[in-house]
Every structure is written in C-alpha cells, then in structure tokens.
Structure 1
Amino acid sequence: MSAPHIPDLPDPWLRRFRPRPEAKVRLVCFPHAGGSATYYHALAQSPALMPTAEVLAVQYPGRQDRRKEQLMDSVPELADRITASLTPYDDRPLALFGHSMGAVLAFEVAQRLRERSENQPHWLFVSGRRAPSRFRRGTVHLLGDAELVDELRRVGGTDPRFLNDEELLAEIIPVVRNDYRATEEYRWSPSSPLRCPVTALAGDRDTQAPPDDVAAWRQHTDGPFDLKVFSGGHFYLDAHRQGVTDVVSEALVRIAGRREPVRGTAQ
C-alpha cells in the first residue's frame, strides 16, 4: 500500500517516479477505480519511453500517502483539480493515459486542457472504458461489502492478498465504493469533439467495456483514431504491459518528432 519512494513533486495530485529532464513529452497517467499512482510505477521506469517521455501519475485523495484526505466522488470536480495541477507541467506536449475510471478522467481533463490551450493535449489514450456516449447505468457502488469484494475478485486488478486481509479491506472498500460512485454517477455533457489523436485500448473479453463500446470513442475526436484490442478481460493490460507500452511509446515518439499536434479527420 505504500509508495516505492517519496515523490519529488510538491503537488499532492501528481507523482513522478523517475525524473527525465531531457524528455520532450510528458505522459500523464490516471488510475482505475480504487487504484493509485503506483500502478504506473513500472511504466515510468520502462526503457521503451527513454528518453522520449517523462511519466506523471495522478494520485487521487484517500489512498496511500493521501489516505487521510477526504474522498472525492465527482468526476468533474476531480478533473478540475487535476487540470489545475498540470498547469506548471504543460510547458511540454502532454499526452494522457487512463484506464477504466482513469479513462473518463483523462477525457474530462483533455477537454479542459483544450479549452485552456489549442495546443494541448497532444494525444489521448483511453483503456478499458466504453465511450462517454455509450451510457450504461451502474449500481456496483450500491452493493454490500461482501458483494463489492466479489466484484473486485471478478474483474481483477486488486492484489488477492488485500482482499483476504480484513484490516486492508477496511481501508480499500470505502475508496473503491467512492470511485465506483463517481464513475457510475458521471454523465457526459455533449460537446465538440477533441482535436487530438485518440487511441482506444480494450480487452476482447472485457464485459465492462466490450470492444464495440470502446470503439465508440471514435465519435469523440476529429483527429486520427485507432482501436487496439488485446486478449483478456478488464485488466488485460496486466498481461500485456509490453504491448501496451509499445503502443504508447510509438505515439509519443511521433509527438516528440514534431512541433505541432496531429490534426485531421478521424480514421
């Protein structure tokens, strides 16, 4: 549950596990429901991103070193706070990567960055999440504790040791329930499409985010669009870390090699 080391950034919302002052691009990563910034620790250390990108990981309130802070169950409010925290770091091209709940937040932050600057963001990666236009009512946050734990076992992504430890469960359950409430009560407000490229990633057996629903992200950008489907369920990326890293790295190299973000019609 503890972070690998003390983060070097003063902002509580962001973690930087490996500073790369020479990097031309910053990749901002958004965790899933119940997740923390350390989920992206391995990605931040990946040789595939050297020296192109520096990874910043978002740390939501209520977990790890922020565990004593009040939880936030509003996607728009979270997006507002995260966008403000990114202000000192938008001196370089920003790319955003989010998985599940993180994909929704990355999308909302991308919209706010676009309103603030025509040159940001330069790329959006959305993983394991149906497009905002594919609304489906969710009730997981209303489940009892035992049923919620069963759901966590079913979708994966949580260390089974945590789910078998009553003391750890007492910390995990309120955080997970809060995050599910945030995503299940989120409603997309139709707006003009993004202008940056969007890459959507999905597991072919993900019942929460079937590939057809993930493909609908195409409607949310006027820029190039690509869909990558991997074998697996909701946390397919745990088994395909290198494949996902390669997809991201290829895009970041493209960003680093140009001065202006890609624009154009969806493909």
Structure 2
Amino acid sequence: MTRTDDDRLWLRRFDEAPQPAARLVCLPHAGGSASYFRGVSRALAPRIEVLAVQAPGRQDRRREPCVESIPDLADAVAARLLDRADTPIALFGHSMGALVAFEIARRLTAIGVRPLALFVSGRRAPFTHRAEETHLLDDDALLDHLRSLDGTDGRILSDPDMVSAILPVTRADYRAIGAYRYLPGPPLTMPIHVHLGDADPHVTVAEAEQWRQHTTDEFAVHVYPGGHFYLEEHSARLIRSLDAVIVGQTHTGRAESSTTSPVAPR
C-alpha cells in the first residue's frame, strides 16, 4: 500500500530508521502534538522507529477541525497504521493518549494485527469511569488547570497568541475525554505496561493496577517520583523501559506472531 501525504500528515517521523526492529506509535496528552515525542524518537532510532501522531487542530494542522471523540481518533490512526504492519508495532499514549492507544490496540487486534505491547501513562483503566468536566471551565480556569499539571512551558501560557492557539484544541480534547465511555469487549492479548507519577492527581497506583483486567498477557506498573508529567523529569528511565520491553518482545519471537494479513477495517 502506498503511503500517502495524508498518512504522513497524521504520523510524523523525526529520525531515519531504515530497517527498524519495531515501530513505536506515540499519542500525546490533551492539547499535545507530535513534537512532544522528538526526544523519544531521537533516543530510540534507528533500532526502533517512532511515529508520533499529529491529530487535526494543532500546530501545522491548526486550521482543521479537531476530531470530536476518542473512538473516532482511534479509527483514524488505526486505519493509517495498516500499511506499516510489515514491521511490528507497539503503542505508547500519555493521559488522553493512553485511551486512544488502548482503542487503537483493540481495533488492530480485531483485524489481525496484534501490537507487540501497549504502554499507557498517566491514565486510569478505561473501564473505570469518573465524571470529567474540565472542558466546561472558563478560559482562566482552564489555564490555571494547565499550569497546575506543569506540563506546558509557562512562557507559552503567558503569551496571548499562543494561548489563543492552544486553548480551543485543549478544550476539544477534554470534551472528547469527558464523553468517552468504555464499551465492554475481550481483553487484549499483548503485554500492558502502565507508567505514572506517584503524586499524579489524576491516577493512583491502585487505579493504575486496574489496567491488569485489560490483558491476558504480562502486566506491570512502573511508578516514578512526580506528578502528571513525571515523564518530563524521568524521560531517560521511561525510554529505557520502553526499549527493553520492545526489544525483549522482538527477541522472544513475538514479532513473528504479532502481524497477520491485515484486512481493511469496516
């Protein structure tokens, strides 16, 4: 299948990886963009090719309307991964991205493409539900919320032009999170590794442990010092963990069984 300009618009590659052992698809937090994963790409290339998802509404896609739901976003990304299934795929998502990565894993598995592993960060298990109404905050309160998470450069949140660019997409992403409802289905058949900060106000270690119910394969929880954006300070440790799991899966022969002949999603 020919890779189109549309595919490249959605899936950004920052570093060359001519013959990667695996591909790691990275999905950002609410309001986040593909560029958040430049460091991950640089650290893992060329052995592992990082594809970072750039959804509509942000940066060079800012004139496009945001995708309105988690399932719709998962559908769009999963469809664009099919012609990359010639190489084993792993998925990483932080916060909102964790939900999207989970739903992508379900979609790929359903059409015969089993990811090597699912890495989720800073998010409760999908089947747990808690009312989330961050998208209803006014602009000042939403900015205060973003400052409290300490994941956005303070200089950006102090620049009126930048604020006017990021608030609409952030609000749209939070609306999608608030509307998300888990639909029961069979557990995944790949390893799930959960990463979180020990002071994250949005997920406790006990809640992270509940991801165990979403897989029949190996499961682990990795706890770091820090809050929701623990990965800013502990990126090297996180990347080493991702690398070890992905390489371990390819070396144990899981790569050969992770892909079958994919069929187009219905």
**Is residue 240 of structure 1 aligned with residue 234 of structure 2?**
yes
Matched-pair contact (CA < 8 Å) for 1:26–1:94: yes
1:35-54 superposed matches below 5 A: 35-46=32-43, 49-54=44-49
Matched-pair contact (CA < 8 Å) for 2:18–2:46: no
Deviation at 1:50, TM superposition (A): 4.2
Partner of 1:63: 58
- Please list every run of 5 or more consecutive structure 2 residues that lacks an aligned counterpart in the other structure: 258-266
Residues 25-49 of structure 1 deviation map (CA, whole Å, 9 limit, x = unaligned): 0000000000000000011000xx2
RMSD across aligned positions (CA): 1.5
Partner of 1:124: 118
Residues 153-195 of structure 1 deviation map (CA, whole Å, 9 limit, x = unaligned): 0012111111101111111110110000111110000111000
Residues 41-62 of structure 1 deviation map (CA, whole Å, 9 limit, x = unaligned): 011000xx24431100000101
Task: Report 1 or 2 for greater relative contact order, CA contacts < 8 Å, sequence distance ≥ 6.
Answer: 2
Instruction: Return the match for 2:108 from 101, 106, 113.
Output: 113
Q: Could you tell me the TM-score, scaled by structure 1's length?
A: 0.91
Residues 80-105 of structure 1 deviation map (CA, whole Å, 9 limit, x = unaligned): 00001111111111000000000000
Partner of 1:29: 26
1:1-267 superposed matches below 5 A: 11-46=8-43, 49-117=44-112, 119-260=113-254
Deviation at 1:120, TM superposition (A): 1.5
Runs of 4+ displaced beyond 2 Å: 8-11, 49-52, 258-263
Partner of 1:3: none
Moved more, 209-218 or 147-156: 209-218
Whichever residue aligns with residue 73 of structure 1, its letter is: E
SS at 1:54's partner residue? Answer: strand
Deviation at 1:262, TM superposition (A): 10
Matched-pair contact (CA < 8 Å) for 1:197–1:262: no
SS at 1:85's partner residue? Answer: helix
The number of aligned residues is 253
Q: Could you tell me the TM-score, scaled by structure 2's length?
A: 0.92
Higher helix share: 2
Q: Decide whether aligned partners of structure 1 residues 72 and 18 sit closer, same or farther in structure 2, where only a CA change above 3 A counts.
A: same
Q: Decide whether aligned partners of structure 1 residues 237 and 206 sit closer, same or farther in structure 2, where only a CA change above 3 A counts.
A: same
Matched-pair contact (CA < 8 Å) for 2:66–2:169: yes
Q: Percent identity?
A: 46
Matched-pair contact (CA < 8 Å) for 1:101–1:183: yes
Residues 97-148 of structure 1 deviation map (CA, whole Å, 9 limit, x = unaligned): 000000000000000000011x421100000000012211111000000000
Whichever residue aligns with residue 106 of structure 1, its letter is: A
Whichever residue aligns with residue 134 of structure 1, its letter is: T
